[in-house]
Structure 1
Amino acid sequence: MTTSLSLAVAFLIGALITVQVGANTRLKEAFGEALPAVIVSSSLGVLILAAVALIGRSSWPSAATLAGVPWWGWLGGALGAVYAVATVLLARTLGAATLTALVVTGQLVCSVALDHFGAVGFTEHAVSVGRVAGCLLLIGGIVLIWRF
């Protein structure tokens, strides 16, 4: 995939995540609670992934491969569940723009720290003035979006 296409796809995925939060929030309102809404939404995602895996004839890892995964490698699903429930609970209060600004800024600040230390499988990239400035600009963006 070319760099330009990768950038466009990443941008589109970011937009779709905001739509996902709205859709999950609507399910929460229909069901009356966040947890059943997120379970139904996540189950649909699992069914789609399973169908794609079957159609694509994906190979599954061996027990030895699974045993070799570091403990933090198993956090993705749990953290995804926390994210899904939290965003459903916060969406109406914060609104799409403020919620997304906070989530993205939290991701970026954490990403800079993870890169700096080469943590959880990321290649080490030292903190720089540019990276810190980027984080500060996003924090400024939160203030502008939230206040205006």
Structure 2
Amino acid sequence: MLPLILGVSVGIILPMQTAVNSRLRTVVNSAFISSMISFTIGTLFLVISTFATTGSLFVSKTLLVNQPWWIWIGGFLGVIYLTGNIILFPHLGSVQTVIMPVLGQIIMSMLIDNYGWFFSPASPLTVIRICGALLVFAGVFSAVALPGLLQTSKLKSVSAKAQPTTSSWLWRIVGVLTGALSAVQTAINGHLSVVVHSAVKAALISFLVGTVALWLIVLLKERKVLFNNFHIKATVWWNWIGGIMGALFVCTNAYLVPIIGTGMVVVILLIGTIIGSLLVDQFGLFASQKNPVNLLQLLGVFIMVIGVGMIKLL
């Protein structure tokens, strides 16, 4: 029960991190630079945490040589997921940019559990688990998409930009794939935590790889970073804690995967994420716009909880 509570709790952090980073984006005038700063701060936080808990920041040469190459790319997959959402938004709109990756996360996490990929604890894909996963997705749909769809007469009206049918489906496939990569990142970081004997150090490695990747993306896209153009005086202290929130999120993921498996981690984090999103909307946390929660969204959370119960029962 404790891992489930921990997973939901850290899932609540994720939408709050998004709200914080969105505010930081208005300060630096760039989504990529905002993400880069967030990852950099998170990496520095994890450097301190890793040294405090393990007394070392490095891994042995033997570990580098003997472990499979993919064990080190979790942070890069995280950047792909983050960048993918930024790219998807203008093509799919806010609702489908959430729904398509979630679908990819659920499908891939179930496959990882079934086959024990990436050394994740194996759990056979039973009919009950499949039904539970479908209920989790239905709950996400009810909480995220259904309220908006009921207020519109056409599905395309909730998209930020209408696209031809073929193009729309291609972008939806990209969304599913980015979500699948997010589930792979979760499994990889879970195994990495076992290999390095520390969830904190695993999170540091993941964040460091992601930070380097984001710095390269920013330098290639923006050409240069002009810190004097940032509106630093317009910030408050919490504008800078998004990276710490993300670090706690990744660290907890790495800790939980070896205990309860990738699939369970993904779905309980989804519950936490939806709950956190509703809290942000209901109370307008971190200077977000208030959007009162409705019964459909609460019903969605309840359906997700039932789905998780079914998955847990195997």
Q: What is the TM-score when the length of structure 2 is the normalising length?
A: 0.41
Contact 1:105 1:138 in 2 (8 A): no
Which aligned pairs between 1:26-45 and structure 2 lie closer than 5 A?
Answer: 26-45=23-42
Please say which structure displays the higher CA radius of gyration: 2
Alignment-mate amino acid for residue 147 of structure 1 = L
Q: Deviations over 1:54-97 (max 9, x none)?
A: 223433321121122212212211012223334456689527xx
Percent identity, aligned pairs only, is 27
Which aligned pairs between 1:1-148 and structure 2 lie closer than 5 A?
Answer: 4-59=1-56, 60-87=58-85, 93-94=93-94, 99=98, 103-144=101-142, 145-148=144-147
- Structure 1 residues 111 and 120 mapped into 2: Cα distance closer, same or farther (>3 Å)? same
In the alignment, the residues of structure 2 paired with residue 83 and residue 46 of structure 1 have an alpha-carbon distance, to the nearest angstrom, of 18
In the alignment, the residues of structure 2 paired with residue 91 and residue 49 of structure 1 have an alpha-carbon distance, to the nearest angstrom, of 30
Shift of 1:35: 1.2
Q: Which runs of 5+ in 2 are unaligned?
A: 148-314
Shift of 1:138: 2.4
Taking only aligned residues, the RMSD between alpha carbons, in angstroms, comes to: 2.5
Alignment-mate amino acid for residue 81 of structure 1 = V
In the alignment, the residues of structure 1 paired with residue 18 and residue 77 of structure 2 have an alpha-carbon distance, to the nearest angstrom, of 15
Contact 2:102 2:137 in 1 (8 A): no
Shift of 1:102: 5.3
Alignment-mate amino acid for residue 31 of structure 1 = V
Alignment-mate amino acid for residue 94 of structure 2 = L
Contact 1:112 1:127 in 2 (8 A): yes
- Structure 1 residues 89 and 82 mapped into 2: Cα distance closer, same or farther (>3 Å)? same
Where 1:56 maps in the other structure, the secondary structure is helix
Alignment-mate amino acid for residue 70 of structure 2 = W
The structure whose RCO (Cα within 8 Å, separation 6+) is larger is 2
Contact 1:24 1:38 in 2 (8 A): yes
Contact 1:25 1:89 in 2 (8 A): no
Q: Deviations over 1:8-47 (max 9, x none)?
A: 2111110001111222222223322221111100000000
Contact 1:116 1:127 in 2 (8 A): yes
Number of equivalenced pairs: 142
In the alignment, the residues of structure 2 paired with residue 89 and residue 22 of structure 1 have an alpha-carbon distance, to the nearest angstrom, of 18
Moved more, 9-18 or 67-76: 67-76
Shift of 1:136: 1.4
Where 2:50 maps in the other structure, the secondary structure is helix
Shift of 1:104: 4.5
Q: Which runs of 5+ in 1 are unaligned?
A: none
Shift of 1:128: 0.7
